[in-house]
Homo-oligomer: A and B are copies of this chain.
């Protein structure tokens, strides 16, 4: 295993300390228990947005704490759910008389621990579950995984909370965005979890994992490497089949790198995906290309399509000032 690492035990703390130091104007890092919160206080009555999950997906979620997006994020160890005490203490630290909305990716451990925290929390609270990975069927036994669409939920609900939407309105909006967002990814290579020290799965030189999860979970199938156009077509078709967008639907198109895929390739994927959507009569109104929901050093990418309307577009465009997403600031 070749990584910048001193020891598996100190990796997360050293990284979070660096993150907080590099962005001291935006975030503060609480060490016991681990959470990251905004450096500046919010308006009284604002709904507090909290997310979290295993580390190794950076910038998700810590990189999205700040004005117009999250109030706090709870990072677990690498690919490991955070614990209820993290969520509870983060919530108590940022709750400001508007209640708390948890944004949770649909993984058993995350869901359970956020549920425990929600039960222990004494202020009004609600939860939005994100399950945008269409590589699994809608009726899958433990449900679909939450992947790169989580960013879209966090950005749009974050803007709404900043603008004064109350807890019920934020929850309804989050559910709506989540239901209208579909993603699918593929891996060209495995990631290497530091504690394991070797690749999580093996792919031959001419194989890819189609429909992979953001922890390297098995996808729809292991298949032969194709041209970029063939591979992106597969992703787009799965998404379109699931979302069933009407002709002329306005959408956000998000191409997300898993960590080791060059930006040059991600823009090529964007070009192909945008062209396929155009052929389907779908109108790409907003775009986001880059490494946002990563899987450590996995090579590959995912495509996310979110159905938009005027309200959602305005909320997407609203100011955001975080370590990794920043505009109109």
Give the docked Cα–Cα distance between A297 and B21 (Å): 27
A63 and B299 contact, CB distance less than 8 A:
no
**Residues in chain B near residue A11, CB distance under 8 A:** 264, 268
A289 within 8 A of B: yes
A268 to B12, CA, bound (A): 8
Interface size class of A (residues with CB under 8 A): 35 or more
With an 8 A cutoff between CB atoms, is A287 at the interface?
yes
B-contacting residues, A179-200, CB 8 Å: 188-189
Say yes or no for A301: interface residue by CB 8 A criterion: yes
Within the assembled complex, what's the spacing in Å between the Cα atoms of A291 and B292?
Answer: 12
A4 touches B296 (CB 8 A): no
Q: Would A262 and B188 be within 8 Å (CB), given that A14-B268, A14-B271, A16-B267 are in contact?
A: no
- Chain B hits for A227, CB < 8 A: 5-7
C-alpha gap A161/B109 in the complex (Å): 52
Contact indicator A4/B297 (Cβ below 8 Å): no
Residue of B14, B288, B327 touching A329 (CB-CB under 8 A):
B327
Please give the distance in Å from A75's CB to the nearest CB on chain B: 9
A260 to B2, CA, bound (A): 11
A272 to B58, CA, bound (A): 19
Contact between A269 and B327 (Cβ–Cβ < 8 Å)? no
User: Could you give, for residues 238-267 of chain A, a 1 whenever the CB lies within 8 Å of some chain B CB and a 0 otherwise?
Assistant: 000000000000000000000111111111
The answer on a CB contact under 8 Å between A291 and B289 is no
A18 touches B261 (CB 8 A): no
Q: Judge whether A22 is part of the interface by a CB distance below 8 angstroms.
A: yes
- Give 13 A-B contacts (CB < 8 Å), ordered by A residue: A2-B299, A3-B265, A4-B188, A4-B261, A4-B265, A19-B267, A21-B287, A22-B267, A58-B263, A63-B263, A261-B297, A262-B296, A327-B329
A residues lining the B interface (CB < 8 Å) = 2-7, 11-12, 14-19, 21-23, 55-56, 58-59, 63, 78, 188-189, 205, 208, 225, 227-229, 231-232, 259-272, 274, 287-289, 291, 294, 296-297, 299, 301, 326-329
